[in-house]
Amino acid sequence: MNLITSQNMQTPLLKINTNRDNKADPVHLPGNTDSTEVEPESGDSGERLIIICQPITPELAMVVTTDLLRYETANPGVPIHMQLFSPGGCVVSGLAIIDTMNHITSPVFTYAIGYAASMAAVILACGEKDHRYILPHSRVMIHQASGGAGGNLDNVRATLAYHYELENDCDKILSAATGQDIATIRSASRVDNWMRAETAQEFGLVDHLLDSTPQPFTPK
């Protein structure tokens, strides 16, 4: 988390609910040609799928937040599905995505595919409660934020204060998302803490392992 980025499957790996009548529609892993690609300009294609499979950067955050707002405008309150296979990246960019997820009325279901590390793990944890999923052999990693400071001593102090503030924000977000207290979050994040799917579930970063059909969503 930086303070300053062969064959087609015959059976869908994930089944997610994208329609109001809660009928299951297939969504495949990124790279499967059977999947419907969601382009940034596509509006609401019906699948409402966002794939994050690169570092979290300001450019990515602009695309993701725009898609979230576009889906919300097209069909408010209907679930949006976000698949994460990312090493994490810029904290501010990740917070922009999380703020937008919290701002819209459409619940965002999150899925860890491969691994969700650093800021990607925070985004994963901020998905709709009871609809945060992980594949059985995927990993989640949380750790302390990292960054640097330069210039004169006053600038170094100001930059460090800013970094501490961002880290505290992330700790509070993870605490709220997982149900763990701040001290537990900070202790668990002192080093790169790689968690297996079951451990991430126990810690509260995800709700379900995707070895069965995801739970149906009931609008509030």
* CA–CA gap between residue 37 and residue 180 (Å, rounded): 36
Q: Is 81 a catalytic residue?
A: no
Is 143 considered catalytic here?
A: yes
What's the DSSP call for residue 10?
S
Q: Which of 118, 131, 163, 189 is catalytic?
A: 118
If 0-12 CB within 10 Å is exposed, 13-18 middle and 19+ buried, where does residue 92 land? middle
Dump strand ranges (E) for 28-90: 49-52, 80-86
Please report, in angstroms and rounded to a whole number, the separation of the first and last CA atoms in the chain: 33
User: Residue 177 to residues 98, 113, 170: CA-CA distances in angstroms?
Assistant: 11, 19, 10
CB atoms within 10 A of CB 170: 24
Give me the catalytic one of 28, 143, 175, 208. Answer: 143
**Active site (catalytic) residues:** 118, 143
